[in-house]
Chain A
C-alpha cells in the first residue's frame, strides 16, 4: 500500500482581479507530493512562485485562491484563514526564499532568529531554544556555530545566510518544505554545497520538498520529478532523469536554447512560443 500523499493539489487556481479583466496566474494545477523532491520549473511569469505562495496561504489580497482540493495531509487548506495557516506554517510546512539578504531580519543576530523560530513553535526555555539553534547550525554544516550564532545577516556570506535560513525553516521539523529559488543568488560552487545540505536534511527527515526554480538542468539533476509550468499551467510532468526525453515543445525549446560548454553551436535555437500552450495544448 502506498502512503497517503503529504500534499494534494487538485485544480488550483490563483486569480488577480484587474481593470482589463482577471489575470489567471495559476490555472488548474494538479499534483500530489509524497516524501520526495519535486521540482517546479518555468520562466518568469509562469506562475511557479505564485503556486508556492498559494500553498503557504501567502497570496496577498486582492488575489484569490480556489481549488477543487488543497490538502496538507488531512487538513483542508482552502478555508483555513490566516490564523489557521499561522498554526501550520513553520511546524507543518515551511518556505525558504531566494535571497537571505532580504529574507533575514537585518537587526537581529542569526542565532536569535533561529532560536525565535524554535520558541514560536516549541514550548521551552530560552536556553533550550539556544541549544536547538546551535544544533541546527551544526546540522547545516556551519563549522563554528557558537561564533556564527552571534553574527548579524550582513556579516555572513550568501551561502552561509542561505544555510541559516534553511536551519530556521527546519528547526520546527515541518513535513513539507517549499524552496523558492533557494540557490539562485549564490555562486555555483556554493550552490552545490547548499543543495547537498538541503538534500541530506530532507532525506534524513523523510520530508517532502518542492524546489521552485528557473534552472532546468539543476532541477533535473536534483529532483525526482519535475513539473514544467508555462503561463500558469503545468504543461508537462516527467521523471527528472527523463527530462532529455521531454515531449512538450516548450520544455524541448527551453532545453535547446541553453548554451552548453561541451556542445557549442553558432546559433542557439530560439524558442518559438505557440499561443496554444497557454490554453493547455
Chain B
C-alpha cells in the first residue's frame, strides 16, 4: 500500500542544504501498521510528511496503492491518505465548531451526504451528537484528538498517517486513543504509518518498526524482536535501554 524507494528530502540547496531524510526505502502492506521511531531531529516526521505529500522529495519514489505520486497530487490521490497530528490543541481551528471542522474535508473532496457522514464519523470515534456544535476549547484533549481522527476518517481514506498521536495526552487518555486506533484498524482495514518516540506506544500498535537516526533508516525490525531485545543496530539498542527506566549505577 505504501512503498518508498530511495527517498531523499532536502531542506535548502547547495552547500547550505541539508538532507533531513536520506535514501529511505520501506514497504508497508495493505492493512499493516508500521512504526517509525527515532529521537528529535532524526527525520521521522520528515519521512511522514514526504509520504503525505506535504514536502516535495528531491529524489526517489513515493508509491501509494501501486501508483507513483507526482509532485502535485490529484484530489483522488490526496483522498487516499489522511493525517492525524500530535497536538490536538494546535490542529483544530479555535473558532470553528466540530461540525465545521468535519465539514471542511467533505467540501474539499466534493463528498455528498454530509449530514450522515458527520454523524457517522463522530459515532465512530466515540463522540456523541452533543459534541457536534462545540468549539475546541469546550473539549478535553482526548476529545479533541478524537475530533482530529474523525476529521481524517470522514473522507474514507485507506491510509492513516499518525504523527505522535498520543504524546500530548495524559496516559489514561492515551490508552483510550490507542484503543480507538486499534478498533478502527480492525474495522476498516486501514493501513497506518505512525511516528513516535515512545517504543511502548509503537509496540502496542505496530507489527514492524523502522528506526531512524540522523536522517537515515538504520534498522527495520519487528516489535517481537524489540520485545525480545534481538535487534542489530546500536542505536536501536540505545533507544531500548533508555526506554526502560532510570537506572542508578549502584
The residues of A with any CB-CB pair to B shorter than 8 Å are 43-44, 158, 187-192, 195-196, 199, 214, 216-218, 220-222, 253-254, 257-262, 264-271
Q: List 12 A-B contacts (CB under 8 A).
A: A189-B238, A192-B242, A199-B246, A221-B247, A253-B172, A254-B172, A261-B203, A261-B243, A262-B227, A264-B204, A268-B175, A268-B179
Residue among A43, A188, A199, A259 making CB contact with B172, cutoff 8 Å:
A43
- Assess whether B200 is in contact with A258, with CB atoms less than 8 Å apart: yes
CA distance A220 to B247 in the complex (A): 11
Chain B residues with CB below 8 A from A254, complex form:
171-172
CA distance A267 to B175 in the complex (A): 8
- Assess whether A191 is in contact with B172, with CB atoms less than 8 Å apart: no
- Does B40 make an interface contact (CB < 8 A)? yes
Which one of B200, B201, B223, B239 has the highest number of Cβ atoms from chain A below 10 Å of its Cβ? B200
- Assess whether A267 is in contact with B197, with CB atoms less than 8 Å apart: no
Chain A residues with CB below 8 A from B248, complex form:
199
Residue among A217, A220, A259 making CB contact with B204, cutoff 8 Å:
A259
Q: A268-B178, A268-B204, A270-B179 are in contact. Are A192 and B246 (CB under 8 A)?
A: yes
Residue among B40, B223, B238, B247 making CB contact with A158, cutoff 8 Å:
B40
Instruction: Tell me the nearest residue of chain A to B176, going by C-beta.
Output: A270
Digitize B30-47: 1 where CB-to-A-CB distance is under 8 Å, 0 elsewhere: 000000000110000000
Residue among A216, A253, A261 making CB contact with B200, cutoff 8 Å:
A261
Chain B residues with CB below 8 A from A266, complex form:
182
- Assess whether B39 is in contact with A187, with CB atoms less than 8 Å apart: yes
Residue among A217, A261, A270 making CB contact with B226, cutoff 8 Å:
A261
Residue among B170, B199, B239, B246 making CB contact with A44, cutoff 8 Å:
B170
